[in-house]
Structure 1
Amino acid sequence: MVNENVLNKVKEVMAAPSCYEGLKPICENYLKAVGTAGEKEAADQLKKALKADVNSIDEVIPFFESEEGEKVLGKDTAAHLAAAAKEAKAKGVKYCICPACTAGGWLLDHESEF
């Protein structure tokens, strides 16, 4: 039975501007494999990739606060993201607050469903 929530979250990961380019084809492969004999293998590959690519909130806060983060994102954006990430962490959020990691984190938290 196909879990629509899982499919929607995989699509969210793929559509997110913050999605790592290498993750997109793995998401696509999973979506194509749903309902086929290759679904379990594709799901296992997706889970493995998500575990490698989804950042924790504790990983991104230091990046946002770093010189590299300022260089990549711009000083104001990096400062805004650092503050937003700290606020999210205080509320119990455990994954990076970008759209790709938010959806990917949901998938990791629900990996037994696919």
Structure 2
Amino acid sequence: MAKEEIIEKVKEVMNAPSCYAGLKDVCEAYLKVAGTDGEKDAALALKKELKEDVCSIDHVIPFFESEEGAKVLGADTAKNLSKAAHEAKDKGVKYCICPACTAGGWLLDHASEW
């Protein structure tokens, strides 16, 4: 796996509208030291943060279908996201379908390679 591919996925996570500030900070820290002696420690911190923050598809579906999800996202958006998440799950997707979790899940799936 090319380093460029990892960096591109980290940027995808960081730039996703669904990425929260704490994860964005860890992504930025990793990108600042990628290719230097500090990369190993920054990669470990990023992998730890991804494990804590990337949601499974089974975790987000109940949220999309909840009153809280409708309140936060709007009823129509929550309904559409629930439908999309169920379709994704049926296709074998294991992570939340938002851009941050999609790219973050890819990084987790390839964590042993970087």
- Give the TM interval when normalised to the shorter protein: over 0.9
TM-score (norm 1): 0.97
TM-score (norm 2): 0.97
Instruction: Give the aligned residue type for 1:94.
Output: K
1:40 shift after superposition: 0.5
| 2:61 aligned residue | 61
Identical pairs, percent: 73
Measured in 1, the distance between the counterparts of 2:94 and 2:30 equals 25
RMSD of aligned alpha carbons: 1.1
1:3 shift after superposition: 1.1
Measured in 2, the distance between the counterparts of 1:21 and 1:80 equals 25
Deviating 4+ runs (over 2 angstroms)? none
Unaligned runs of 5+ in 1: none
| 1:78 aligned residue | 78
Aligned positions, number: 114
**How big is each residue's C-alpha offset from its partner over 1:33-59, in whole Å with a ceiling of 9 and x where there is no partner?**
111111100000000000000000000
* More deviation, 56-65/30-39: 30-39
- Name the SS of the counterpart of 2:10 in structure 1: helix
